Each structure stands twice: as C-alpha cells, then as structure tokens.
Amino acid sequence: MKSKKTQVCIIGSGPAGLLLSQLLHNEGISSIIVDRQSRSRIEERVRAGVLEWGSVEALEDAGIGERMHREGLPHSGFDLAFDGDLHRIDLTALVDKRVMVYGQTEVTIDLIARRLKQGCEIIFSAEEVQPIDVKSDAPKVRYTKDGETVEITCDYIAGCDGFHGVSRQTIPQDILKTFERVYPFGWMGVLVEKPPVSDELIYANHQRGFALCSMRSPTRSRYYVQCPTTDKVEDWSDARFWDELAVRIGPQVAANLETGDSFEKSIAPLRSFVAEPMRFGNLFLCGDAAHIVPPTGAKGLNLAIADVRILSRGLIEHYKRAQDAYLEAYSQTCLKRVWKVERFSWYMSTMLHQFPEFSGFEKRMQRAEFDYLAGSEAASQALAENYVGLPLEM
C-alpha cells in the first residue's frame, strides 16, 4: 500500500473542499483533496447561481475574485410575484447590501484551476474513499486509484463530500442525529442561450406552481418550474417548459420572455436536512455533507462557504497560534447559523410553492404573507436580511 501525508485531508472537490484547501494554503497549511468523480464531471455540474456578499469576499480571499468581478452580475434586488402581482425586494435600500449572480460551475472551475496551479494534489476519480481512525491523533483517508490502494495520514479530515458522501456515514448512529423534511415536488431547470426575461431574479408563486427566472450572464438564462417528483426530464419538451413558465410568470413578464433550445435540463428534488453534530473526533463535516436546504432561498452553496470560513478560521488558529477554541466550537457555531438558514429556506419554499396537501386555508396564508411583505417595510427588511446572508456568527 502506498502512503502519503498532509495536515488536512479533504474528501470532496466541490466548492466547500476546494475553498477550504485554498484558504488553508493561503496560511501555509497543506492539504490533499480526494474526489470520486473526474475533473470534467465536476466542472460540468450546473447548480447554484447566487452568492451572498460574504461568499464573494471569501472567494476574493481565495484569489479568484478577478473573473468573478469581471463576469459576475451584482444584483441589488429581486422580485416576488404572486398570481401575476409583483413586489420588489430592494436589497440595497432595505439592508444596504447586494448579492452576486455567478454560477457555482464557474466558482468550481476557477478554484480547481488555481489549486492545481499552486501545486495542490487533487486526486480525481478515486474509488472506495474511506475515512479511518477518525478518533485517533493520526486519522487517515484510504482510497483506490488505478488498482492501487493509497492511505493518506493527516491531522484532520474535512468531510466535504456532499449529501451522498461517505464522511457523514462514518459517524456512529448513536451519536449522529438527523432531521429531515422531503418536499412533495422538485424543480425542473433549464439553461438557454438567450438574454434573461428581466434584469433581476423573479420568484413566482402561481396556482399552477412555483417558477423562478434566473440567469448566468446577460446572454444566458436559467429558468425553473416546480414539477411533481415523479416527472422525468423527457416529460418536459422545450415547448412544454416555455408554455408552462409563461403562464406562471404572468403575461406582463412573459411579454419579454425570449425562448430557444435549452442546452441543459435537469430535475432536482427539494429537501431540508441537518445532521448533528458536525464534528466527530478529528473529522469535520462541511457543506452538503452536513445539511441540505431547498434552493428557494439560494442558500446551499452559501451555507457551504460559511462552514468553510468557520472551519478554516479554527484550523488556522490551531496551526498558527496553538489555539483550539474556534475548532472546539466548530459544530456549535455552524449549527446555530445552519438552523437559521434552514428556517429561511423552508419559509421561502413554503410561501412560494403549491403543496398538494394544502387546503384553502394554507393558500390564503401564502397570499397573506405576500401581501404583508408588499405592504410592510419591516417584513421586507427581514426577508432581505436573510437573502443577502446573515453574519457568520449570530
């Protein structure tokens, strides 16, 4: 068996794992990243699109601010729509902050390029990845590649391997508590090389279901419609998708909709999930490995970045100043914030979707929530405060 050594071994080369590696490298702390997927598969995944400003700053610290600021689109507001009525959430006026529209795909491409250029070892296409001896002072990550088994010995393991990863499963069942809500619908998403229907995002609740108008650039749009979990991508021809989207966003907005051939189509299920604690021995869980939010508040990626900011601070304090207070508090600090973000994502999802089990009462509640937001600056401000991102510690 071949062996390697590093200070922090990171499982998962998604945005969480890559950003952690970069922030540690900035302070002279070594890491190796192991991922089961190939580089091209990782760089092709289409996921989140909105960055909180705290995430923007973390990515600047990671040295990938240049392209993000050149190609990203700062947004100072977005629209909520309810059966055709519109209410703008003016982020700048309400909370003096903005968000950045820049795709997770681009963030990942930028981070991989930078990490490899700086000589970081990223092992792609690793098989049978397994954290071992995580309660000892010398935990290891074992994997197989090209028929050879390799063991990486380290001080700490960061489990950044997403919801279906192996890290969380390493924590014994009598220690790990999980909390979950699965929503009775999914999002059918398309990418199209056409200018966005509006300069800002539009989140719409319509009797026929939720719709979201988003974008990746001034010439590339990202649209979603709520669909049953049983639907398949093949059920949604482009023509059906555009017809449905136009109905849900209403004639006023749809008048500006430019349709075309979609070049990416996928269905994502909606789930809320939290695992507690986020640390076991010398294994730390980060991002989707520890929690999932429904995408309605654009929080999944941002929450992963917040975990990484908290963990990198703890590891830097450990290595640079022999102080472990931040590291000891990692799980507690993250979970306090995680639950607030879970609450916001659940709230946005509940307000904006059609739930098969909802009676007339719940539907009137959704409408009342929209009317309250439209008529109350305080209510809009609370929504805006969450949308731009809560402070790291709150």
Positions annotated as catalytic residues are: 75, 203, 295, 299, 387
Residue 13 binds which entry of ligand PHB, ligand RFL, none, CB below 5-8 Å type-dependent: ligand RFL
Residue from the set 14, 49, 131, 287 that interacts with ligand PHB by CB under 6 A:
49
Q: How many residues bind to ligand RFL according to rule CB under 6 A?
A: 33
Is 142 in contact with 149 (CB distance < 8 Å)? yes
Could you give the residue ranges of the DSSP H alpha helices within 197-329? 238-254, 300-321, 325-328
If we measure between CA atoms, which residue out of 180, 184, 209 comes closest to residue 293? 180
162 lines the binding site for ligand RFL (CB under 6 A): yes
Residue 123 binds which entry of ligand PHB, ligand RFL, none, CB below 5-8 Å type-dependent: none
Is 49 in contact with 216 (CB distance < 8 Å)? yes
- Angstrom distance (rounded) from CA 90 to CA 92: 6
Closest separation between CB of residue 48 and ligand PHB, Å? 6
Residue 100 binds which entry of ligand RFL, ligand PHB, none, CB below 5-8 Å type-dependent: none
Quickly count: other Cβ atoms within 10 Å of residue 75's Cβ. 17
- List, in sequence order, every residue forming a beta bridge with 142; answer none if it has no partner: 130, 151
Is 156 in contact with 29 (CB distance < 8 Å)? no
249 lines the binding site for ligand PHB (CB under 6 A): no
- List, in sequence order, every residue forming a beta bridge with 180; answer none if it has no partner: 273
Closest separation between CB of residue 381 and ligand RFL, Å? 22
> If residue 343 lies in a helix (H) or strand (E), which one and from where to where?
helix 330-352
Residue from the set 8, 9, 11, 383 that interacts with ligand RFL by CB under 6 A:
11
Residue from the set 50, 100, 301, 310 that interacts with ligand PHB by CB under 6 A:
50
What are φ and ψ of residue 348, in 5° steps? -60, -40
Closest separation between CB of residue 199 and ligand RFL, Å? 19
Q: Which two tokens stand for residue 98?
A: 């903005």
Among the listed ranges 18-26, 229-237, 294-302, 308-316, the one in contact with ligand PHB (CB under 6 A) is: 294-302
Q: Taking CB under 6 A as the criterion, which residues in 99-158 touch ligand RFL?
A: 104, 129
If we measure between CA atoms, which residue out of 295, 11, 259 comes closest to residue 128? 11
- Angstrom distance (rounded) from CA 68 to CA 264: 22
Closest separation between CB of residue 118 and ligand PHB, Å? 29
Q: What are the angstrom distances between the C-alpha of 386 and each of 16, 91, 302, 391? A: 21, 10, 12, 9
Residues 6+ apart with CB under 8 A from 234: none
Residue from the set 25, 222, 318, 353 that interacts with ligand PHB by CB under 6 A:
222
Q: Which is nearer to ligand PHB, 51 or 129 (CB)?
A: 51
Closest separation between CB of residue 173 and ligand RFL, Å? 18
If we measure between CA atoms, which residue out of 83, 75, 58 comes closest to residue 392? 58
Q: Taking CB under 6 A as the criterion, which residues in 303-322 touch ligand RFL?
A: 304
Residues 6+ apart with CB under 8 A from 139: 9, 131, 132, 133, 153, 154, 155, 156, 157, 281, 282, 283
Distance of CA 93 to the CA centre of its chain: 26
Residue from the set 301, 341, 351, 388 that interacts with ligand RFL by CB under 6 A:
301
Residue 296 binds which entry of ligand RFL, ligand PHB, none, CB below 5-8 Å type-dependent: ligand PHB
- Angstrom distance (rounded) from CA 97 to CA 387: 10
Residue 165 binds which entry of ligand RFL, ligand PHB, none, CB below 5-8 Å type-dependent: ligand RFL
If we measure between CA atoms, which residue out of 207, 200, 190 comes closest to residue 84? 207
312 lines the binding site for ligand PHB (CB under 6 A): no
Residue from the set 13, 205, 226, 296 that interacts with ligand PHB by CB under 6 A:
296
Residue from the set 42, 81, 158, 373 that interacts with ligand RFL by CB under 6 A:
42
Closest separation between CB of residue 264 and ligand RFL, Å? 11
Is 342 in contact with 291 (CB distance < 8 Å)? yes
Closest separation between CB of residue 160 and ligand RFL, Å? 5
Residues in contact with ligand RFL by the rule CB under 6 A: 11-17, 34-37, 42, 47-49, 104, 129, 160-166, 268, 287-288, 295, 298-301, 304
Residues in contact with ligand PHB by the rule CB under 6 A: 48-50, 201, 214, 222, 295-296, 298
